[in-house]
Amino acid sequence: MPQGPFPPHESEGNDTQITFRWDPTGHANEYDFSLSKASGVMYEFDGRDIAITRDLRSVGAADIDGDGDLDLYSALTGVAGDQQSRIEWYRNLGGNPPLFLTLTASTAINGAMEAAAADMNHDGLMDLLSASFFDNKIAWYENNGIVPPDFTQHVIADNVRGAIAVFPVDMDRDGDMDVLSASALGDGIFWHERINLVEPAGFYTRNVDNTSGAASDVIAADLTGNSYPDIIATYSSSDSVVWYEHSGLVPSSLVARHVITTTAEGASSVAAADIDGDGDMDLVVSSEVDRTVAWYESDGQPVPTFTEHVISNSANGVRNVAIGDVDGDGRLDVLAAINALDRVVYYRQVDADEVTFETHPVSEDIQRAWDVTVAPLTSSVSADVITASAGNGKIQHFDFKRRHVFEDKLETEAEDLKTNQYFHPELLDPDSGYAWRITAKNRLTTETVITTSGPIWVFSTGVPDLAIEAGSLVAEPAFVEQGDPFLVRWTETNPGSSTGDGHWSRVVASPDAEITGSGNDIVLGEAWTNPIGPGTSVPQQIQADSSGLDLGSYTLAVLVDFYDHEKDESNENNIFTADKPLVIIEQNAVGNWHLFQ
């Protein structure tokens, strides 16, 4: 089998040749070789089941057991009176990707539609909340702090007819957690103000709006910039999105009702974030009847107005939306759970200046997809997508992946590729980036083997004066008990005269000090660095997991530019190792003496 070319984290190109440094071991003469370029990038997700339950209506993430990693929680609706409705949570047991243990927080509920998490009683523990349709109940569940915790239900209100949404927020800025809720049977929006911390059920309930019809969702966000949360609600029966302005006065009051739109047919959910990066809060709204996912741009005024921009009008039966930087490029993306199409869709923001989106499926096999959220469950710099299915009752975790689509084979002589070890790129555009792939086809068996792939940059006038350097690579602590997390820190510097395009860096631990980024190097994590200006340094870090490392000593290294070529002028600037080894020791062995050899 032919081996090579050089490691895919570093490749060079210019206007004369691309060097492959091919190592024709084995029987290279039995193979024909060809070079292909990528016609595009495919954004995909690797999925796995976390839990299989039934009738899921919501999913969220929080550190429920206080161990430093994110757990998940959900609401299971059941059928009225069948005793199957409950609030579940899924304890993160660690690993990359993590394993989860399914636990029940409460079954004292009928028709759970949404769950949420917040510290409701100032004890430093994450409690849970619920809205339940059939018993008209808003409740919170007190975490008792044991490992794993048990929960005690406290009813906040039992008269929110058809309770469909719950959202914890400190509306009056008094340090106590208040609760918002929504009624799907025409009673509108409620604000449950916490007035007595000693009494678990010490809430005063006020009806914010009972004139807009059947509510479908409610959230809070500061739309006016006065540091007080305003309320935003969607109403499915009146096709409207409405926000309620917070006065900022104490005692708190809502001074005005503002209608954003009355044409979101079957408005089903709303999320808030600064989509366009201009410093004010925008909204993303789903409406299931007109099959629309849209973002509403704030004009940034003290009392803002909003302009609708349609992201998609083919989201048939869309139930919920979420916002997050899924691909780690610094731009906020949008996800939608589309019930009628059994899918969750990722709308990737591709242009921050124009705020345009392109559509990619997360999965097209999520039966009656109902909810979606974004959370960093793994050590990857990209976010993870978690979905809830009302059909097959699955909580699923999807890990984001970039994959190149290779087409357009470039003509090249096989002998040139094997013996001369370079390829003349007349067919490539100058000053452009390409992903490339070498394939080897056995002449006797016709078996095709993909041998390697990676980036190529083609320059019309040579390589720019740019080099990314890394320094001060350290692990904290240097001695790590097997299974414990640890922090890896380093600094990246551009000593050149040009600004690059941003890049990925990969952190590895090598048992033999031969750093390649593959082979027996163990990947600890990856980090994205935005473009670095000339003479500028930026700090970087990842939290690594030692559970995949055996006992012993490792060379710690960071490989700068692991994926996307930063137009470095030298291979020598790409791999940096720590001054001292990383040592994995047994649990409870920190008190023993260890000596660096």
- pLDDT top residue among 104 and 252: 104
| Cα separation, 529 vs 563, whole angstroms | 12
Judge whether residue 548 has pLDDT over 90: no
Judge whether residue 24 has pLDDT over 60: no
Instruction: Of 160-164, 319-323, 369-373, 507-511, give the lowest mean pLDDT range.
Output: 507-511
pLDDT band at 100 (very low <50, low <70, confident <90, very high): very high
- Sort strands 479-481 and 582-585 into parallel, antiparallel or unpaired: parallel
Could you read off the pLDDT of 477-516 as tens digits, one per residue?
Answer: 667 778 788 888 878 777 666 666 666 777 888 887 677 6
pLDDT at 524: 84
Give the predicted TM-score (pTM) of the model.
0.69
- pLDDT top residue among 219 and 596: 219
| Cα separation, 321 vs 335, whole angstroms | 6
Find out whether the peptide bond into 168 is cis, omega within 30 degrees of 0.
Answer: no
- On whether the 467-593 domain is CATH 2.60.40.10, my answer is yes
Instruction: Of 182-191, 384-393, 494-503, give the lowest mean pLDDT range.
Output: 494-503
Could you read off the pLDDT of 394-417 as tens digits, one per residue?
Answer: 999 998 876 656 555 544 444 444
Contacting residues for 442 by C-beta, under 8 A, at least 6 apart: 30, 31, 448, 449
Sign of CA dihedral 84, 389, 379, 508: positive
| Cα separation, 549 vs 379, whole angstroms | 15
- Average of pLDDT values for 216-226? 95
Q: 396 near 363, Cβ under 8 Å?
A: yes
Q: Which residue has the tokens 């909580």?
A: 395
Q: 452 near 439, Cβ under 8 Å?
A: no
Helix ranges, 149-200 (H): none
Q: 185 near 158, Cβ under 8 Å?
A: no
Going from the C-alpha of 573 to that of each of 284, 433, 456, 462, the distances in angstroms are: 43, 20, 17, 18
| Cα separation, 41 vs 323, whole angstroms | 22
Judge whether residue 456 has pLDDT over 50: no
| Cα separation, 370 vs 338, whole angstroms | 7
pLDDT at 440: 59
pLDDT band at 443 (very low <50, low <70, confident <90, very high): low
Which range of 51-55, 226-230, 485-489, 547-551 scores highest in mean pLDDT? It is 226-230
Q: What is the mean pLDDT of the chain?
A: 78
Which range of 21-35, 331-345, 502-516 scores highest in mean pLDDT? It is 331-345
Judge whether residue 11 has pLDDT over 50: no
pLDDT at 126: 97
pLDDT over 70, % of the chain: 71
- pLDDT top residue among 582 and 86: 86
Going from the C-alpha of 201 to that of each of 180, 195, 587, the distances in angstroms are: 15, 9, 43
| Cα separation, 497 vs 408, whole angstroms | 35
Judge whether residue 128 has pLDDT over 80: yes
pLDDT band at 64 (very low <50, low <70, confident <90, very high): very high
Q: Which residue has the tokens 């201009």?
A: 278
Q: Which residue has the tokens 């997390």?
A: 485
Q: 492 near 470, Cβ under 8 Å?
A: yes
Could you read off the pLDDT of 276-304 as tens digits, one per residue?
Answer: 999 999 999 999 999 999 999 999 999 99
Give per-residue burial for 463-502: e unless 16+ CB within 10 Å, then b: bbebbbbbeebbbeebebebebebebebebbbebebbbee
Output the CA torsion 289→292→297→298 (10° steps). 20
Going from the C-alpha of 160 to that of each of 19, 101, 147, 489, 561, the distances in angstroms are: 69, 32, 33, 50, 54
Judge whether residue 447 has pLDDT over 80: no
Judge whether residue 227 has pLDDT over 50: yes
Provide the token pair at 15.
């206007």
| Cα separation, 532 vs 244, whole angstroms | 42
Boundaries of every domain in the chain? 43-404, 467-593
- Average of pLDDT values for 472-481? 65
Domain 43-404, what fold?
Methylamine Dehydrogenase; Chain H (2.130.10)
E-only strand ranges, 133-187: 137-143, 151-157, 163-169, 178-183
pLDDT at 92: 94
E-only strand ranges, 390-447: 394-410, 422-423, 432-442
pLDDT at 156: 96
pLDDT at 525: 81
**Does the fold of domain 467-593 match that of domain 43-404?**
no
